[in-house]
Amino acid sequence: MFKKSSAPEKPLRQRALEYLGKREYSYKELGQKLKSYLDENEDADSITAILDDFKTRGWLSDARFTEQMVHARRAKFGSSKIVHELREKGIESTLIEGAIEQLKETELASAKEIWQKKYKNAPANRDEWAKQARFLQSRGFGFDTIKKVLNLQTDDD
């Protein structure tokens, strides 16, 4: 009864541009997204050619993606979680090392802010201390940072 739309499928290049128009993607991440749109006439080399062209033109940049990801995630997560995400997205280790240096500078301040949003009072006993430490650890903060944040809160009382 209903007719199927006869609109032609979008070319891979157009899909890639639409994705990049919405947000930054890493080379690997955009390649994975485009793989689901390959038809029987195309092969993975066509995706590589598109991505390489975009990279040459400056439309696709892992450095820009890394910078954007760090900026967006630092308000909610610690360096280890952000670094893990960057590795999953296929970012080179040199870019990740630069991101780590940038994150380490503000890690303690970020952990304090995140802790203060969740908990208004310092831990009163060991159980509360452990609970708050697990929360910060789940957000990707290292134990040294967690100890500093929670011990500072205890010392302030």
134 within some domain:
no
What pLDDT, on a 0 to 100 scale, did the predictor assign at position 154? 57
Residue 47 is part of which domain span? 10-60
16 within some domain:
yes
pLDDT per position in the chain (157 positions), as tens? 454 444 457 788 999 999 999 999 999 999 999 998 887 667 778 899 999 999 999 999 999 999 999 999 988 999 999 999 999 999 999 999 999 988 888 899 999 999 999 998 889 899 999 999 999 999 999 999 999 999 876 555 4
What pLDDT, on a 0 to 100 scale, did the predictor assign at position 45? 85
Tell me which DSSP letter residue 11 carries: P
83 within some domain:
no
Task: Tell me the CATH number at 19.
Answer: 1.10.10.10
For 11, 16, 52, 56, 124, the CA distances from 49, given in Å and listed in that order, are 13, 12, 5, 11, 59
24 within some domain:
yes
Amino acid at 106: T
67 within some domain:
no
Indicate the number of domains in the chain: 1
What pLDDT, on a 0 to 100 scale, did the predictor assign at position 8? 56
152 within some domain:
no
pTM: 0.78
For residues 145 and 107, the answer to whether their CB atoms sit within 8 Å is yes
What pLDDT, on a 0 to 100 scale, did the predictor assign at position 24? 94
What pLDDT, on a 0 to 100 scale, did the predictor assign at position 78? 92
Q: How far apart are CA 24 and CA 96, in angstroms?
A: 16
- Residue 60 CB neighbours (<10 A): 23
What pLDDT, on a 0 to 100 scale, did the predictor assign at position 6? 47
85 within some domain:
no
